[in-house]
Structure 1
Amino acid sequence: MKRLLVPLAVVGLSAATLAFPATAEPHWASDNLQPKPADAYGVAYFWLDANGAALRKATQYRLDTKNVPKLVSSGSKGAPDGKPGMTGPTGTAKPTVSKNVNLPKTIGKVFFLDRAGNYRWCSATSIQSQHRNLVATAGHCVFANGKDDVYDKWVFVPGYYQGRAPWGVYAGAYAFTAFDLDTYDDYDGDFAFVAVHNGFALAGEKEVSHKEFKEWAGDKWIKPRQISAEEFRKCQINLGECWSEGEDKPADLVGPDYPGAVLEKVEVSKQTYDDAKIGRGQGFKFGDPVVEQVDKAKWDAYSGPGDKGSGPDKFGNYTITHYYTQKWVKPGTTRKYYEARYIIGIAKDMGRLGDVVGGQGVAWNQPMGQNVVAFGYPSAPHPDGDRPFSGVTPKWCAGKTGTKTYQVNTFRVDTHQVLKCSMTPGADGGPWLMRYDNNKRTGYVNGVTSMFHDQDGNGRIDFISSAYFDGEVAAVYNKANYAQTKAIVGPKGELLK
């Protein structure tokens, strides 16, 4: 897929919030995910089908490195390339009072297929945007190794929990990241903004007429229903869609050693039973005689080969004694008849992401040493093998970011910001929220988790790092801010064009 790589003129949010030095020329990279509603529908349905089986199958994404990368201080006290700026959040949650950190409604997981076809996930958040449709996450959770292509079947699921998508699934339409990450695999630009279509959820299925089935633009399928031979003949007369399978074929007598032979019992007279031998062959005895207690009406009506007793015993019971011999057969077959049931899948439009769960603000060129709360879905074990997190529910770390930026030589990093935190991979892409309001559950995204580090060498993650959000991040965000997306399904659940 060819990339669009263009220097970005500074336009958009406001001249005050997106002012760059005269020498700065931000670059961005963009790629299509699923811009067409039909393709987006297929992607979302892939993850939702079978009650979210694919969502539960996914495992956390991990960077392609054998060892936990080391942080090296760059000595810099920050890397702003222009004036500080921010855009405010929007929220939908009602203010609450809590002594703990209240989880924001905006956070969730992104799901995708990696280059090997494995089902993967990272962490992410909804953010404020002009069209209420943007997701912020790590660049390596969208762009395949930072170059060549984007990951397949990319969706965002806010509030994800154990295979459930409480606010729907939002299929990615367009992805935006830094030029240097896309071109040089430079993790100083390990962030991404993804414009997503309206969310949708599956709302069951409905049987419809053949005419309605043909006209339906959404998901549809045919379910067979077994019918009788008489119903089949009527269906053919009425030119319905019906068919038959197999053939009527009687059972054949075979020996007990014939492959697939089935033992059946045949009711015979007492004389035939007494004359039969005990063994496995045709006509041999099949167990002991069976005495059946019946009422008088059944006793009077019986005309089989068994013996009827002389009449009621002292308790008023009537009996029939049955005698059986063996019959070894190769089973026959019976023709089966079916008719088509026309089924359509009903989907529900959940609306724009920002209208459903709100969106966090975004901040850039902020001073180092900010108080932040980092959220994510950690899951992977620590380097020593201990696995304290399940990845099922989001976790958080709170503290001040470092006062200096750091290098990570193996990933071309010169200016990452750091936070002391023990979250493990799976939290990749989770937001670092500056000025987090615990009541409103909103703040300003000033970083997204990129890497995990064990600085003291004890086999436990103790730091996480993020790209420093500078003017280049603002430029990419500004470009993504203009991306327009669509509803996937209409008011009746039909697929839109």
Structure 2
Amino acid sequence: MRRATIVSAAALSLLAPLVAAGPARAATVATVPLATVVDKAREVAGFWLADDAANLRAATPYTVLATAAGGERLSTGIVPDGPAIAVQPIGAENPPPGEEFATSGKVFFIGSDGRPHWCTGTSVQSKYRNLVATAGHCVFDIEAPMGALGKWVFVPAYADGATPYGLYVGKQGITHYDFEDLHDFDRGYAFATVYNGVVLSAPDTLTTVARLGDSVGGLGIAANQPLPPAADVLGHPSGLHPDGTGPYTGQSLERSSGPTFAVKPAGLRADRPVGVDSPFTASPGAAWVTGYDAGTRAGYLSGLTISVADTDADGRYDTGISPYFDTGLFQVYQDAANRWTGSITYVSG
């Protein structure tokens, strides 16, 4: 499932983390259009915001690939395939008051069942401050011939139909070729570029608010790092434990912290995923954050939950599972982080 890649030293330099995408990465990156035409993007925004955000409120958790049958925690580490990489986080122009984790929110879309669903998504650093990270299957439809999930948007700090920092319509989805072509969940991550945020200022009237990173900031990226002693998991867990209990509703952003380790999950096509000790039930797209500073509200994205597992067979989920962030992840990120989007309205608010 894994393929060799070659990256120049310049591409991995911390002094130039956002080098423009070039031919050397073309075979690594797979893209899919979300709403590449402005008129279509306006229709998508209207779909989610109309009728007091009725479709946002009606969306349900996305349960595709939510759980693995079980798994084994491994004592071995994971060997990076290149130099350690750390892209610095960015702060919001005007930090949101009282919103410590405003970079996190929900991505909404229409699944192959024709119904509205959501996963967790996270704003990350990029050249144009317009990039969201989430699980690959929360952008690409793995239940149908691989293509985009419909009407894709991101709402940071979402709660009960509210869009406090605007709604951001996706323009393009970007993932690793091995995920798009082979369903290799060692590459089960995705990024989505988003237009400037909008709000419904009057019936049928969209007003621009700001670029995503200007509104809420963006996490940095950590790749080819040793497994951290611990990671904070930020997501919207929902659903039942195997024992029938359901401690999470998916309605609010939750945080858990725990050690990380190599894991061998059952029933998931992945050679070297990473596990984190977490009690969360299904939480696809949840961000794994390391080096978080509460004062600056900044940290580094080092993983993304793609599934959860019960590794001690006690009938309760205890482990979140993420792809290991390696050189391939950084190549995909670099490509995505240099894509411009713009506005879907004619006049900025």
SS of aligned partner of 1:413? coil
Aligned to 2:156: 158
Cα distance in 2 for residues equivalent to 1:492 and 1:196? 16
> What is the 5 A alignment of 1:47-446?
47-64=48-65, 68-73=68-73, 76-92=76-92, 103-145=100-142, 148-205=146-203, 345-402=204-261, 405-425=262-282, 427-446=283-302
Counterpart amino acid of residue 368 in structure 1: L
| Cα distance change of structure 1 residues 384 and 103 upon mapping to structure 2, 3 Å threshold | farther
Q: Once the 2 structures are TM-superposed, how far is the Cα of residue 13 of structure 1 from its aligned partner?
A: 6.2
SS of 1:132's equivalent?
A: coil
Q: Distance in 2 between matches of 1:393 and 1:75?
A: 33
Q: Is contact 1:371–1:435 with CA below 8 Å preserved after alignment?
A: no
Distance 2:309 2:246 in 1: 16
- Give the stretch that moved more between structures: 188-197 or 7-16: 7-16
User: CA, structure 1 residues 50+94, in 2 after alignment: closer, same or farther (shift >3 Å)?
Assistant: closer
Does the aligned pair in 2 maintain the 1:12–1:478 contact within 8 Å? Answer: no
> Per-residue deviation at 1:379?
1.5
1:375 Cα deviation (Å)?
Answer: 0.1
- Once the two structures are TM-superposed, the CA of residue 456 in structure 1 deviates from its matched residue by 1.9
| SS of aligned partner of 2:328 | helix
2:156 alignment partner AA: P
| 1:491, distance to aligned residue in structure 2 (A) | 2.0
C-alpha distance 81-13 of structure 1, shift in aligned 2 (>3 A): closer
Q: For residues 230 and 211 of structure 2, what CA distance do their matches in structure 1 show? A: 30
| Cα distance change on mapping 1:414 and 1:45 into 2, 3 Å | same
The structure with more radius of gyration: 1
Question: Where in structure 2 are there 5+ consecutive unaligned residues?
Answer: 19-23
Q: What corresponds to 2:21 in structure 1?
A: none
Deviations 1:350-369 (A, max 9, x none): 12100111101011001013
**Counterpart pick for 2:340 among 484, 490, 493:** 484
In 2, are the aligned partners of 1:399 and 1:420 still within 8 Å (CA)? yes
* Residue ranges of structure 1 left out of the alignment (5+ in a row): 1-6, 206-344
Residue 157 of structure 1 and its aligned partner are, at CA, apart by: 0.5
1:147-199 CA distance string (max 9 Å, x none):
52110001000010001111111011111111111111111111111110111
- Corresponding residue for 2:42? 41
**What letter matches 1:172 in structure 2?**
G
* Corresponding residue number in structure 1 for 2:328: 472
Change (3 A) 1:488 1:9: farther
What TM-score, normalized by structure 2, do the two folds share? 0.89
Deviation, structure 1 residue 349: 0.3
Structure-2 separation of matches of 1:164 and 1:183: 36
Partner of residue 314, structure 1: none
Tell me, yes or no, if the aligned pair for 2:68 and 2:267 is still in contact at 8 Å. Answer: no
C-alpha distance in 2, partners of 1:483/1:442? 23
Paired residues in the alignment total: 336
Aligned-pair CA distance for 1:76: 4.0
C-alpha distance 161-149 of structure 1, shift in aligned 2 (>3 A): same
Q: Distance in 2 between matches of 1:349 and 1:10?
A: 39
1:127 CA drift (Å): 0.3
- CA–CA distance in 2 between the matches of 1:8 and 1:174? 25
Give the partner amino acid of 1:410. Answer: G
Q: Post-superposition shift, 1:408?
A: 2.8
- Aligned residue for 2:273, secondary structure, equals strand
Q: Distance in 1 between matches of 2:97 and 2:57?
A: 31
CA deviations over 1:32-83 (Å, ceiling 9, x no partner):
1111111111111111110011011111011257x74322356641131100
Q: State the Cα deviation string for residues 87-132 of structure 1 (Å, max 9, x = none).
A: 11112265999xxxx7411100000011111211000110000010
In the alignment, is the contact (CA less than 8 A) between 2:95 and 2:215 conserved in 1?
no
Q: Distance in 2 between matches of 1:95 and 1:165?
A: 13
Secondary structure of residue in 2 paired with 1:385: coil
Change (3 A) 1:470 1:9: closer
* Alpha-carbon shift at residue 15 of structure 1 (Å): 3.2
Residues of 1 paired with 2:175 and 2:102: CA distance? 24
Distance 1:170 1:117, change over 3 A: same
In 2, distance between residues paired with 1:393 and 1:74?
32
For residues 233-275 of structure 1, the C-alpha deviation after alignment (integer angstroms, 9 at most, x for no partner) is: xxxxxxxxxxxxxxxxxxxxxxxxxxxxxxxxxxxxxxxxxxx
Separation in 1 of the partners of 2:38 and 2:76? 46
Once the two structures are TM-superposed, the CA of residue 477 in structure 1 deviates from its matched residue by 0.1
Report the 3-state secondary structure (helix = DSSP H, G, I; strand = E; otherwise coil) of the residue aligned with 1:411: coil
2:96·2:102 contact (CA, 8 Å) conserved in 1? no
Give the direction of change, closer, same or farther, for the CA distance of 1:492–1:360 in structure 2 (3 Å limit): closer
